């Protein structure tokens, strides 16, 4: 039996991370268009949130596969 996820549903966390990734990418573009080098921070945050979305998406799929396989 898998341990419960303390932070919540991985599928929901993957969705939140994906939305955050999109928002940070837009913020980076806006920042660079304005000529502000602070956009590099937004790019780093977009990379981090992209990795989080990938991780939690894989985790949600793995938990879904575990539930479908007979014991």
Q: What is the pLDDT of residues 58-69, one digit of tens each?
A: 999 988 777 766
Cβ-based neighbour number of residue 69 at 10 Å: 6
How many domains does the chain fold into? 1
The pTM of the whole model exceeds 0.85: no
Residue 71 pLDDT > 70, yes or no? no
Query: Which domain range does residue 56 map to?
Result: 10-63
pLDDT at 7: 59
Positive/negative CA dihedral, 64, 16, 44, 30 = positive
Q: Is 5 left (phi over 0), alpha (psi -120 to 50) or beta?
A: beta
Q: What is the pLDDT of residues 1-54, one digit of tens each?
A: 555 555 578 899 999 999 999 999 999 999 999 999 999 999 999 999 999 999
Query: Is residue 28 within 8 Å of 39, Cβ to Cβ?
Result: yes
pLDDT at 68: 67
Task: Look at residue 2 and tell me if it is in a domain.
Answer: no
End-to-end CA distance of the chain, in Å? Answer: 10
Task: Look at residue 5 and tell me if it is in a domain.
Answer: no
């Amino acid at each position: 039996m898998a341990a419960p996820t303390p932070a919540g549903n991985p599928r929901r966390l993957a969705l939140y991370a994906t939305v955050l990734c999109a928002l940070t990418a837009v913020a980076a573009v806006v920042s660079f268009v304005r000529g502000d080098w602070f956009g590099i921070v937004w790019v780093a945050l977009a990379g981090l949130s992209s990795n989080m979305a990938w991780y939690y998406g894989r985790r949600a799929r793995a938990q879904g596969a575990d539930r479908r396989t007979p014991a």
